[in-house]
Amino acid sequence: MKKQPQESQCCPKFDPAPWDRKLLEWKNKKFIKDKVFTFFHMPVNFGSVMRRLDGLLKQSGVNSPDCLCLSEHTSRWNMDVYLAANKEVRDANNVTLSGKFLSKVYEGPFKDTGKWCKDFEIYAKNKGLSVIKWYMWYTTCPKCAKKYGKNYVVIIAEVK
């Protein structure tokens, strides 16, 4: 009898409940930061950048709380990524984020991002908040989204 190959899991299954419609207060929340090359906002080397960041975490014995990874689209050609870390990471670009952050979970194809952003802007406005800075959290890679049957994306915005 042949052994069935074990299905690898690169992305943990995402639970939207702790992140949907939440107002978060962060004080010096730790992240390691890197850059992803994009072509008209489409990430080109996202996987290799994430492997590099993950390697830095493992090498330093550091964990990433909730596997939280924020993407900030800074232009058509660049996206900054912020991978949460529970402490400083050796040989990494360590940064912190502080302030009020509003989050809302969306599910569906990436082509709906424009609709999600419009919805989020209305959501924030109805809460009496205005967006200062936008971040996207792509909670799983495309393969894992297909495996789990859900493609969750969380918009997390710094608000005032």
**Adjacent-strand bridge partners of 157:** 102, 134
Model pLDDT for residues 43-75, shown as the tens digit of each residue: 999 999 999 999 999 999 999 999 999 999 999
Domain identity same for 75 and 125 = no
CA–CA separation, 24 and 1 (whole Å) = 52
Domain identity same for 53 and 107 = no
CA–CA separation, 37 and 28 (whole Å) = 27
Token code pair at residue 143: 């393969």
Token code pair at residue 107: 């599910």
Domain identity same for 90 and 115 = no
CA–CA separation, 12 and 82 (whole Å) = 18
**Is residue 9 included in any domain, yes or no?**
no
Q: Tokens 């074990």 correspond to what residue?
A: 6
The distance in angstroms from the start CA to the end CA of the chain is 61
Domain identity same for 124 and 158 = yes
Residue 32 is part of which domain span?
A: 27-97
> Domain count of the chain?
2
Domain identity same for 31 and 75 = yes
Model pLDDT for residues 72-109, shown as the tens digit of each residue: 999 999 999 999 999 999 999 999 999 999 999 999 99
The per-residue pLDDT for 1 is 42
CA angle 59, 62, 68 (to 5 degrees): 120
